[in-house]
Structures are given as C-alpha cells and as structure tokens.
Amino acid sequence: MYIQGATIKVKLNNLIISNRILLKLKSKHNVDVNEIEECFLNRTKGLLIDTRLNHKTTPPTYWFISSTNVGRELKIVYIELPDGRYEIKSAYAPNPTEVRIYAQYA
C-alpha cells in the first residue's frame, strides 16, 4: 500500500548523501547530485510513502518521481531526519510499475 505524503520545501544544502550511496548512484544508476537537486526543485506532484512491511522505516521513507532540467525522469528515495535534513537513500530511472503507482497515488 502507498500513502501520500505532505508537500515539502527543500533547501538544497539540507541534502545528505553518504559516500557509499554516492558511489552506488554513479556506478549503478549513472545519477549525480545535480540531477537529484534538479528533481527536488522540479517536482510537481506529491510524495509517497512505501508502506510494504519489508520497506517500512522510522522515520518513513518518502519517494517521488520528477524530471531533471534536461528531461531525465528519476525516482528519488529519501528520509527526512528529525533536524530537517534529507538523507538520500537512492535515485534511479523508475520502472513502469513505479511510474503507474506514482501517477495514480501522488
């Protein structure tokens, strides 16, 4: 099940990406930090929370699909930390099922 999250305003200096995640984003998904920032700024629909049992986290994991400035569509997955920062968990090209779910529920 998916539930819609609230709209947020993100300060780009509040994004946290660990070195391990940065390496994975570049080597596995060919995504860079600028693209993630662009997707946050370009998001036009809501946020979703994946409530499947094996994907639940505390704090909750949010995700959305948005486009970069050159039109590349990415799924951005992150958690909001108690201090207001956003920890990126992943970013990659969404599959058709994710696109359908986001279109239906966001």
Residue type, 67: S
60, 49 in Cβ contact below 8 A?
yes
How far is the C-alpha of 70 from the C-alpha of 55, rounded, in Å?
A: 31
Note the pLDDT of residue 10.
53
Q: Where are the domains of the chain?
A: 2-105
How far is the C-alpha of 61 from the C-alpha of 2, rounded, in Å?
A: 11
More confident residue, 51 or 25: 25
For 19-33, what is the mean pLDDT? Answer: 94
Bridge pairing between strands 15-16 and 86-92: parallel
Cα end-to-end span (Å), the chain: 13
Note the pLDDT of residue 3.
46
The answer to whether the Cα torsion of 99, 38, 40, 33 is positive or negative is positive
- 32-88 pLDDT, tens digit per residue, is 999 999 999 999 999 999 888 887 888 899 999 999 999 999 999 999 999 888 999
pTM over 0.75: yes
